Amino acid sequence: MKEYRDHYFRKAKEEHYPARSIYKLRELDGKFRLLKPGMRVLDLGAAPGSWSMGAAEKVGNTGLVLACDIQASDVAFPPQVLFMQEDVFNRSAAFEALLKELGPFDVVLSDMAPRTTGSRITDQARSLELAVEAFSLANLCLKKNGAFVAKIFMGPDMRELLVSMRRIFAAVKTFKPKSSRAESKETFLVGLDFCPQ
């Protein structure tokens, strides 16, 4: 196992986070200043829970994080986090009702990733499908001037998504955190200053 992987894995355990992905969110937030006290955040692909915990710390007791994942989470979340086991492609009526009740959101985060198959083309296509669905939800649920972050496996098809994002965000960036594994094809798409059409 590589040293940098050990470092982030150990650090997450020492700081009582369920996964090393917390450091990716911290880097994204440090660069783009996404999260502030009192904000409402929609966290897609939230399990095991590190991003929801990190977002909850930043938004504080006056903020709120609505988190969902197709998998369950056994994390003891703080009271400002509401976690639901949910499939974003087949959303329940209860979840849809919560989106309306609690939204619009200041930030939509997506750390969703497909189960990898070992086929680069298949994995990229599935990752793109998840990022497009997250983008679609952001388009529905974001406040004006809000922000959107989505993980995606880099590939030629992501250009079309970037073009779509540029239509409704004043600025669109790509960012690979230092805490991402060097061999990983993941990057993060960041949309800033949502301008609904």
Q: What CATH number should be reported for the domain holding residue 95? A: 3.40.50.150
Q: In this structure, what are the phi and psi dihedrals at residue 165, rounded to the nearest 5 degrees?
A: -65, -40
Model confidence, pTM: 0.91
Q: Is residue 108 part of a domain?
A: yes
Show the domain range for 91.
Answer: 23-194
Burial class (CB in 10 A: 0-12, 13-18, 19+), 33: exposed
Does residue 13 form part of some domain? no
Q: Establish if 10 belongs to a structural domain.
A: no
Please report whether residue 11 resides in a domain: no
Walk along the chain (197 residues) and give the pLDDT tens digit of each residue.
344 446 656 665 666 655 567 889 999 999 999 999 999 999 999 998 899 999 999 999 999 999 999 999 888 899 999 999 999 999 999 999 999 999 999 999 999 999 889 898 999 999 999 999 999 999 999 999 999 999 999 988 899 999 999 999 999 999 998 877 777 789 999 999 999 88
Residues marked active site are found at 151
Number of domains in the chain: 1
